[in-house]
Every structure is written in C-alpha cells, then in structure tokens.
Amino acid sequence: MAFSLALLGASTYEAPAGSYDLLATEILTSSQSSITFSSLGDYAADYQHLQIRMSSRDTKSDTSANFLLRINGVTTSSYAHHRLYANGGSSLSSYASTSTSAIIAGVTASANAPSNEFGTTVIDVLDFASTSKTTTTRSLSGVLAGNTYVVLGSGLYNSTDAVASVTILGEHSNSFVTGSRFSLYGIRKAA
C-alpha cells in the first residue's frame, strides 16, 4: 500500500517488506466458543505470512488450558504439532502428536486463574497463500496462573491448499470469555 507524502516533499511511501499491518481485531463482548478469521485469500497479493496475537481466558475449571487452531474448517486427522513447555521453576517437558483433528497452538488462562488474568499468545501462519507446500505454524504463549507456563509450539496442516480461514477454539469445548482479544496481522511481501 503506497501513501501520498506530497506535503513532505516526497511522492509516495511504500511500506517495506516484513512490515506488520493490522488486518482485523475481535474483542469479545460475551463468551464465545470459537473465533474465525475468514476470507484470508483477500490478503494474498500483499502479505507473505499472517500473525495472530491473542490475549485470552477461557471457561475451563482449571488455572490454564490449551487451545486449538484449525485451518479451512478441516476437522479430519490432517494436523500434527509439537510443543515445549516450561514452568516457573526449572522443569521442561515436550509433547508431540500426529494425525490430530487440530493443532494445539498454545495455552490460555482459565476460570480458576486469578481474577482478570489473561494468557498471551503470538501465532505465525507461514506462507499462508502457497499451494505448493504444506502449511506450518509457530507459536509462543504464556500464562501466569498460579504456575507460570511458557509454551513454544509448531504445527502442520498437511495440505497444500491455500489458507482461506483460521479458527481458534478451546481444547475441550471451553469458551473464551468477555474481554479476550484476537488480532490478525499481515506480514508484507517483498516488492
């Protein structure tokens, strides 16, 4: 996207490759079981990758919970994921799974966490418009919920279809609560 800078003595300004542009934001005003960003193909001409930034809390009766990511509404065993967990002490664990119905994309604060505490997550959907390779994701999330958790994850959508939609949902049909925020960013392509 070019901007006119005529008043400053320049003709236009072109945002450089790798710039982040905010494309959409949803802030929940009531509990919701899932959030979907759709019509993502509309961004394919200008953006190489997509990024989702979240501040969330869900209704599970626990201090924290995993949440899932689905691409193009696919619910079959088309996904794989790997996660590394670290808590506030010194423990570190990992978990991997293949042939799943969604990517476990991160961790969120839940109903038993201290009041008004939300988990934070950043998810990158890499080369989302490509039809020549499978789609991969990477994520970093954390929550301070009695125990501090940091989770580094990667995911695979085992299809060469371009990404048209991304849905975020609770792992056990938990709902995200009022005040949870989900923002979609585009990462610009090289000109």
Q: How confident is the model at residue 144 (pLDDT cuts 50, 70, 90)?
A: confident
pLDDT score of 147 more than 80:
no
Please give the domain boundaries of the chain with CATH numbers for all domains. Answer: 18-188 (2.60.120)
Residue whose structure tokens are 């060469």: 160
Specify the range with the lowest mean pLDDT, choosing from 13-27, 129-143, 159-173: 13-27
* The pLDDT of residue 3 is above 60: no
The CA dihedral of 29, 30, 34, 36, to the nearest 10 degrees, is -30
pLDDT value for 11: 56
pLDDT of residue 8: 57
- Whether residue 50 is predicted with pLDDT greater than 80 in this model: the reply is yes
Predicted model pTM: 0.89
Point out the least confidently predicted range of 45-49, 71-75, 90-94, 153-157.
90-94
